[in-house]
Amino acid sequence: MNMPRFSTLVFATVLLWALGYALWVTNFLVVPPPFALDHALRGIPVFVFGVVLCLAIGPILAWMQDHGGTWILVTGAIVAVTVATLLLALFYEFVMHVVMPRWGPPTWENLMDQMSMMAWLFVAWILLYFALVADAARRDREVRLAQATAAAVDAQHRLLVQQINPHFLFNTLNTISSFVTSRPAEARGLIAELAALLRDSIHETDSKYCQLGHECELAEKYLRIVGVRFGERFKPSMDVPEPLKDLPVPRGLLLTLIENAVTHGVYVLAGDCTLDVHCIARYRFLIVEVRNRWDPAAPPSSSRHRGGLEALDTRLQGLYGDAYRLEYGGDDAGLWCVRIVLPIADTEAEPVRENPAGRSTHDPVPHRVPT
């Protein structure tokens, strides 16, 4: 059973009995009894005892609900209200008619009158108690749902990262395997570069974010690996201002974009292959652009197979909600561009520009960082 917080239960109980005491005292304004002030003061310990009885009933009801059915709980509530009402009425008679009596001796008629009045207070408290229990159960469900949602998002994030990393590793190992027999010295160098790359990235496997500067270091290692295979025809460049390198970005962001550009640009095209990385801050957003050559005439199955971008888009949706943009497309001149717009940390995230935020745009996009 979900118990309400003790402080909330005490506050609600005291408030209920204080209201009951106030209503009881207002009767004196209509029919003032003898020694009205003394009567009102003696009522204070009576109503305090009512608060104590209610707080004692709470754990009993909780135990009954946990260990019995509905009928046991209802029967227990009726018995508890009856016993508590009788005890409080007897205490009232003791305070008013036994200790320095001013209103005559106790009588059965007075006892029944007090029980009829106090029973309503206990019934009201029972209803209040179960309302608080229901509210506690609702809050507990909300907390569990939030925890389950967070766990699901985290599990999805880890799964998507695991999908991206083997893709990158597969392409790198393919490059190394092509050198093993024909260029063994360079193959050994590539293995050393790959080992350094994996060593630097292995400590980040459990984190969702890292500094942009760290992403740049990993990207430069990867570009060196690709450059060994393709030689002078591969012309990468990276333009990332130093002040931006301390910004947090999703782990693997640059590697995913660059690996996608290499797989669908450098690997499939003849001649010189450019790959340019640009990062710039505009207002409260970080803009990351990766541009590379592509073949507009290539069939969609070879030129627009963007599984890595789709996985990245899903990751960004989980991390940023609607506060990011992912655009990609190419022009007829043979230039492909992927642009990501992310909210800079420690600023209020809001939907990006006029298009639906958080959605991938597949149409051709301008191949200049917007100013």
- Beta carbons of 60 and 81 less than 8 angstroms apart: no
Q: How far apart are CA 273 and CA 292, in angstroms?
A: 7
Chain segment 9-38, per-residue pLDDT in tens: 778 888 888 888 887 777 766 666 666 677
CB atoms within 10 A of CB 283: 8
What average pLDDT does range 270-299 have in this prediction?
Answer: 87
Q: What is the pLDDT of residue 337?
A: 92
Chain segment 230-276, per-residue pLDDT in tens: 778 888 999 999 999 999 998 888 888 988 888 877 777 777 888 99
Chain segment 50-108, per-residue pLDDT in tens: 888 888 888 888 787 777 777 887 888 888 888 888 888 888 888 877 777 766 677 77
pLDDT band at residue 290 under the 50/70/90 scheme: very high
- CATH number, domain containing residue 183: 3.30.565.10
Those residues whose C-beta lies under 8 Å from the C-beta of residue 333, and which sit 6 or more positions away, are: none
Same domain, 58 and 207: no
Same domain, 106 and 232: no
**Predicted confidence (pLDDT) at residue 367 exceeds the cutoff of 50:** no
Is residue 278 one of the residues assigned to a domain? yes
Same domain, 14 and 90: yes
Locate the DSSP E strands across 212-358. Answer: 234-239, 248-250, 273-282, 285-293, 325-330, 335-343
pTM, entire model:
0.52
Q: What is the pLDDT of residue 340?
A: 95
User: Comparing C-alpha atoms, which of 240, 174, 266, 252 is closest to residue 208?
Assistant: 252
Is residue 169 one of the residues assigned to a domain? no
- Hey, is 147 helix, strand or coil? helix
Q: What is the pLDDT of residue 85?
A: 86
Range of the domain at 277: 178-361
Share of the chain above pLDDT 70, in %: 77
DSSP per-residue codes, 12-79:
HHHHHHHHHHHHHHHHHHHSPPTTHHHHHHHHHHHHHHHHHHHHHHHHHHHHHHHHS-HHHHHHHHHH
Same domain, 222 and 263: yes
**Predicted confidence (pLDDT) at residue 368 exceeds the cutoff of 60:** no
Same domain, 134 and 193: no
Q: How far apart are CA 150 and CA 145, in angstroms?
A: 8
Same domain, 98 and 196: no
Q: What is the pLDDT of residue 275?
A: 92
Same domain, 182 and 288: yes
Same domain, 338 and 209: yes
Same domain, 83 and 219: no
What average pLDDT does range 147-154 have in this prediction?
Answer: 68
The residue among 347 and 47 whose pLDDT is bigger is 47
* For helices 36-67 and 6-30, angle between their N-to-C axes, nearest 10 degrees: 150
Q: What is the pLDDT of residue 213?
A: 92
| DSSP β-ladder status, 209-211 and 285-293 | unpaired
Record the tokens describing residue 103, joined without a space: 């209103």
Chain segment 310-355, per-residue pLDDT in tens: 878 888 888 888 889 999 888 888 888 999 999 986 433 344 443 3
- Hey, is 342 helix, strand or coil? strand
pLDDT band at residue 361 under the 50/70/90 scheme: very low
The number of domains in the chain is: 2
The residue among 239 and 122 whose pLDDT is bigger is 239
Record the tokens describing residue 8, joined without a space: 């909330």
